[in-house]
Amino acid sequence: MRSPGWADLYDWRLERNGGVPLFRQVYAQVRSAVLSGALRPGTKLPSSRAMASALEVARASVVAAYEQLLAEGYVEGRHGSGTFVSADLPSLPRPARRRPPTRAVAPRAVPARAFPEFERATTQTEARPFNTGRTLLDARTMETWRKLTHRAVRSLGANDLGYSDPCGLIELRRGLGDYLQAVRAVRCDPRQIVITAGTQHALDIAIRVLLAPGDEVWVEDPGYPLTHAQLLLAKARPRPIPVDAQGIVVDAGRRVAPRARAAFVTPSHQFPTGVALTMARRLELLAWARASGAFIIEDDYTSEFRYSGAPLASLQGLDEDERVIYVGTLNKALFPGLRLGYAVVPQALLPAFVSARYLMDRQPPTLHQAVVAEFMQQGHFAAHIRRMRQMYREQRDALAATLTRRAAGRLAVEVPDQGMHLVAYLKGGAADTEIEAAAQRAGIVVRAISRFYRAAPPRPGLMLGFSGFPRQLIVPAAARLAALING
Ligand SMILES: Cc1ncc(COP(=O)(O)O)c(C=O)c1O
């Protein structure tokens, strides 16, 4: 592989009063850079003209040095394209390798054990069924995405290259505002929308704005482990509140931590159970927040992918008191590597929220925002969601049907109305972690949902992502999983 032009940035130096001829010094510098491994084989050297100008010496001195290096085999000339560090210098010493630290450094903010999920999260790139959090993009979206990206690159202007609004591009915020009002009944002015790198980032900002170390916070039990871990990182005190068939049990929250500063919830599709928070509970939750002065952080992930049943409007849309921060993500609607999401922030919190966002990373990257804005404006986003909804629904059905047909005696499969994963509860007291491990050995990724419980007694089950895999892959993998579970 050709090395990039690091030689142009190398700190070439000459000693003018040292008595050593200049050509000799150039020769010695290059040779030592090659021998020390600082310049790797294949690296292009600066042209003799550029080197001479950088060192303020006659070009002839550089030419003489290069010729000597060439003769000795340190560098090679490629006709018409320049001088390169020789590709085969077998006796070169390897660049010194950094020694790994002998012991991991214990983080000061949180106990190291707080993040067992990090390890698992890194496997999310894995393309094996039934890994969660994966999305599919069909050929139409890919093609459109490429076209719009090329166009955005071609029309990069001063605004795209410089610092800009920490809240994000107004075109994208307007597009999102229209979408959220129409589809999620979110009530907002586009100026209340802050573009983030995704849910994770939005939650982090909310935590910084709302919480001081030691503050109590409601989290769902079972719940999303990264929210819990983020709260620990901020030294807040997450209090697990049980979830039942109607969603988070507000009454239990009032008993456990009546004066909590905030509640982090996933009302449209509880993570990981998939339960939708009922209207009665929504009103109860809002009433608690109003009475106690708490805020609710509504994580509305995967709301784009609703397959059946009337969609429940967002909690934010029911809120008369500006107590809800609504958080959405494009990383699920499009693809996780995009790293774009948004928060709809109550007016009273907006200045603090924008300041925190600015201090963390100034602003979102402009190019991808411009692409998404265009993607939305031209109607591709809505069409993409419609097509993916159909595809994911078929994948969900194929998974549920195969598991139910083959392992009905061992699994109670819940078919969710929304989302990108389903939960198959285990019948007969099997341990979900054991099945998780056995499946892993068989090349299948499942997540034991007992891992997502904190204080509530776990109901063992398997969380299976269906969004990232075509039907043709899902059916045989589900059959293999069923066989494994049947023993
Ligand atoms: C509950 C929940 N919220 C949000 C997200 C999306 O996070 P992000 O937008 O940071 O990729 C996920 C992804 O797995 C999730 O499970």
What was the pLDDT predicted at 13?
Answer: 87
Q: Is the pLDDT of residue 4 over 90?
A: no
- For residue 386 the two structure tokens come to 């419609």
**Count of beta carbons in the 10 Å neighbourhood of residue 331:** 20
Kindly give the number of the ligand 1 atom that is closest to the alpha carbon of 341.
9
pLDDT at site 92: 58
Q: Return the closest-CA partner of residue 345 out of 335, 354, 358.
A: 354
Q: What percent of the chain has pLDDT over 70?
A: 92
Please work out whether the CB of residue 133 comes within 6 Å of at least one atom of ligand 1. Answer: yes
Give residue 3's pLDDT band: very low, low, confident or very high (50, 70, 90).
low
Q: What are phi and psi of 448, to 5 degrees?
A: -70, 120
Q: How far apart are CA 450 and CA 457, in angstroms?
A: 9
- Predicted local confidence at residue 94, as pLDDT: 58
331 Cβ closer than 6 Å to some ligand 1 atom: yes
Candidate of 331, 338, 447, 464 to mutate for ligand 1, largest count of ligand atoms within 8 Å of Cβ: 331
pLDDT at site 113: 56
Would the CA dihedral through 469, 474, 480, 482 be positive or negative?
positive
Instruction: Please give the residue that has the higher pLDDT: either 313 or 105.
Output: 313
CB distance 299 to ligand 1 below 6 Å: yes
Q: Is 198 close to ligand 1, i.e. is its CB under 6 Å away?
A: yes
Of 100-114, 238-252, 346-360, give the lowest mean pLDDT range: 100-114
Q: Is the pLDDT of residue 250 over 50?
A: yes
Residue nearest to atom 3 of ligand 1 (CA): 301
- The atom number, within ligand 1, closest to the CA of 202 reads 10
Average pLDDT for residues 298-326, to the nearest whole number? 94
| pLDDT value, residue 320 | 96
Quick check: CB of 301 below 6 Å from ligand 1?
yes
Q: How far apart are the CA of 200 and the centre of ligand 1, in A?
A: 7
pLDDT at 122: 45
pLDDT digits (tens, 9 = 90+) for 387-419: 999 999 999 999 999 999 999 999 999 999 999
Please give the pLDDT value at position 95.
54
Atom of ligand 1 nearest to the CA of 201: 10
Angle at CA 97, nearest 5°, toward 92 and 101?
170
Give the residue-averaged pLDDT of 17-27.
89
Mean pLDDT of 285-290: 98
pLDDT of residue 126: 67
- Ligand 1 centroid, distance to 16 Cα (angstroms): 60
341 ligand 1 Cβ < 6 A: yes
User: 360 with 377: CB under 8 angstroms?
Assistant: no
40-72: per-residue pLDDT in tens?
888 999 999 999 998 999 999 999 999 999 999
Higher-confidence position of 310 and 27: 27
CA of 301 to the centre of ligand 1 (A): 6
- Mean of the per-residue pLDDT values of the chain: 92
- The DSSP H or E segment spanning 422 is strand 421-426
| Residue 418 alpha carbon to ligand 1 centre in Å | 14
Among the residue ranges 54-58, 331-335, 376-380, 432-436, the one predicted with the least confidence is: 54-58
Please report which confidence band the pLDDT of residue 209 belongs to, taking 50, 70 and 90 as the band edges: very high
Least reliable range by pLDDT among 18-22, 320-324, 462-466, 478-482: 18-22
Residue with tokens 């894995």: 126
Q: Is 433 in the pocket of ligand 1 (CB under 6 A)?
A: no
pLDDT surpassing 70 at residue 229:
yes
Is the model's pLDDT at 97 over the cut of 80?
Answer: no
Q: pLDDT band for 177, please (50, 70, 90 cuts).
A: very high
